[in-house]
Structure 1
Amino acid sequence: MNPNLLDFSLEELKDFISSVGEPPFRAAQLWQWLWQKGVTDFADMTNLSKTFRAKLGEEASAILPEVAEVLTSTDGTIKFLLRMSDGELVETVLIPEPTHYTQCLSTQAGCAMACTFCSTGTMGCARNLTHSEMAGQVVVARNYLRDMQMESKRLRNLVFMGMGEPMLNMETLIKSLRTIHDDSGLAIGARRCTVSTVGIPGTLEEFGRHDMALLAVSLHAPTQELRERIMPKAARAYPLDQLMDDLRTYPVRPRERVTLEYVMLRGVNDSLGHARELVRLLSRLKCKVNLIAYNPGRTSLYKAPQPEDVTAFSEYLCSKGMTCTLRKSKGQDIAAACGQLANQSQGS
């Protein structure tokens, strides 16, 4: 089977170009066609010789995830169901902001962490995504915006908060981030990329050393006992006191902070008592808290918090000097909101 050139890093692409007897500068030209321009048909790469294009057609491929379905929310959120070459289905979401889009990317087909509030967690994990499937989600979204003449808002920010646990696919995550950051690739800077993790033992130090994206940690509880109830697999593997110790030494730039994500579940973790415990837990950590009102799915174990409880929780954190934001929920009518990504077409 011919290699998929979208699975190559730029250095790997240079090696491939040399192996087929072409000069090294061809790799840079090809790289720009694939990533900057989103072109996968070699015949359309007009600054390459016809001979070289024919050779590529014989010896290589350029395969992006296939768009199986597109759903658009009343609030402008766009959810893509993508089919991979082996039939696996993965979701990615474009979230509209006033001047741009933020894309929520998946790193695995499914997820093995089984957090109780997350629809993806009910699926299990089929496999890790490849470089072409992970970074390729950005190309698919950009091509869609171009084809639909929706480029007045450009795709500016990326959040790895879709299907899967990014730190369980670390090697491909870092490889994809290099392609994303490359000026001749997708050209989206590190400070515009955020990677969210539940916390996988032994990965935070390595991820921080690369300094290729901002870090967000799915916390969701102020105590070990409650965290084990909400996200038992992650909490038992990485006890809260150890997680906090590692976050205190996590490298951040002078004006940056680690983001702690906290999904509010009615009657579970949304009381003022929980807010007080959270302030105590985070008192020595350079962080900000992102509160997320839970979005129930069709078979949810939990309910959305009352608006007054969200307000009281947020105001208490702010009164104690904590930086706290409330994420506005989008895409609920197409099951694209936080915790709702679960592929309903799997196996159909």
Structure 2
Amino acid sequence: MVRIGYTMMTEQRGPTDLVADVVGAERAGFDFSVISDHYFPWLAEQGHAPNAWVVLGAAARATDALPLMTYVTCPTFRYHPVVVAQQAATVQLLSGGRFRLGLGSGENLNEHVMGRGWPAAAVRQEMLAEAVEIIRALFAGGYVTHHGQHFQVDRAKLWDLPEPPPPIGVAVSGPASCALAGRFANLVIAVQPERSLLTGFAEHGGAGKPAVGQIPICFDRDRDAAVTRAHQQFRWLGGGWKVNAELPGPAAFAAASRFVRPEDVARIVPCGDRTEDFLGAVRPFVQAGFDELALIQIGGGSQPAYLDWAERELLPALREL
């Protein structure tokens, strides 16, 4: 049975509400929760971008047993790898061992704020691989010194090191990232229900390890309202990650998606309250072999009604798959 997760979307909710929502998600019966780590929302209509790591610390203490995970953190620009390792170790301790560290190569949207430019995808993958090596070395204990192509580390050590350290997940979108994840990761992360991604991960050392996916949905008893809200906040989705990773800010996402119509979004995102539509969106991930799937409910203010509906209708139906 696929485990179903709740997504804390920092782009559409403030920090206090995010913590209240994840408490509600645990009460509703979700199997785990993930959090996005952004400096900007994709679109101005989303309206938020609190610090994900601060929210995680609060969520770790506010929940009792719900597993937590970054989906995903970029450990190469806004954060140095040694800082990510320290943050992850701290959340693992605060949560009593319920945290997993999801990593990715990042988006220009969030990382350009450091003023270091935005290199080609191949360079970003090199940086991610080197960052993961540093994080794994710090999780192993002791002092770490590293002189690499992209990062320097001078006698770093985690003084509060959990046992076990957080499992590491790596986001994949093609052969290069699958190879990287297979070498270094305890689990694989993907947003497309493509079996080839899981196969590539398995072929490079990931066989038997969990695969975690994610999809956006938009619940509302009024389907037209759901379609309108999905279009307002997620019309950027159709650009695909190869394009979206390059755009520098909300204005660029608005310009790139200006010709996307509500009906275009509704073809990608299940909207309304028909359980069958949501099952249809989840089924490809099940068939591709994913073990876990985090759902994104689009619309910050809709979370309480969504959680109530999920507890009574959606989650029981999904567990029948």
> Greater strand share, 1 or 2?
1
User: Structure 1-normalised TM-score?
Assistant: 0.39
> Greater helix share, 1 or 2?
2
User: Structure 2-normalised TM-score?
Assistant: 0.42
Q: Which has the higher contact order (CA 8 A, sep 6+)?
A: 2
Q: Bigger radius of gyration, 1 or 2?
A: 1
